């Protein structure tokens, strides 16, 4: 069994860590609420989708498949 400490693996000055510390993404839940159903299967977290799109934009990843692999 291998135990990894993700916090120790990411440099303190990494761009995504800085964004995480500065931006509160909780407002997305309120904005996306009308578009998500409460019945049926659980859907993908809207904050995760927005963060993935942001990563794709920042790192120039144009393919959704490639973005999924990278994330």
Q: What is the pLDDT of residues 18-69, one digit of tens each?
A: 998 899 999 999 999 998 888 888 888 999 999 999 999 999 999 999 999 9
Write down how long the chain is: 71
Residue 3 is predicted with a pLDDT of 86
Which residue range(s) make up the domain with 29?
11-70
User: According to the model, what pLDDT value does residue 31 have?
Assistant: 94
What is the radius of gyration, based on Cα positions, of the chain? 15
Q: Report the domain count for the chain.
A: 1
pLDDT of 56: 94
Closest to 51 (Cα-Cα) out of 13, 32, 23: 23
Structure confidence at residue 37 (pLDDT):
83
Q: What is the largest CA-CA distance in the chain?
A: 43
Q: Is residue 3 part of a domain?
A: no
C-alpha separations of 56 from 9, 12, 40, 42, 50 in Å: 21, 21, 29, 24, 10
In a domain, 6, yes or no: no
The pLDDT value given to residue 36? 87
């Amino acid at each position: 069994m291998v135990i990894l400490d993700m916090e120790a693996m990411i440099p303190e000055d990494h761009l995504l860590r800085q964004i995480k510390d500065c931006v509160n993404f909780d407002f997305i839940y309120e904005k996306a609420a009308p578009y998500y159903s409460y019945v049926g299967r659980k859907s993908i977290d809207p904050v995760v989708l927005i963060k993935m799109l942001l990563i794709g934009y920042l790192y120039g990843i144009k393919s959704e498949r490639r973005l999924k692999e990278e994330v």
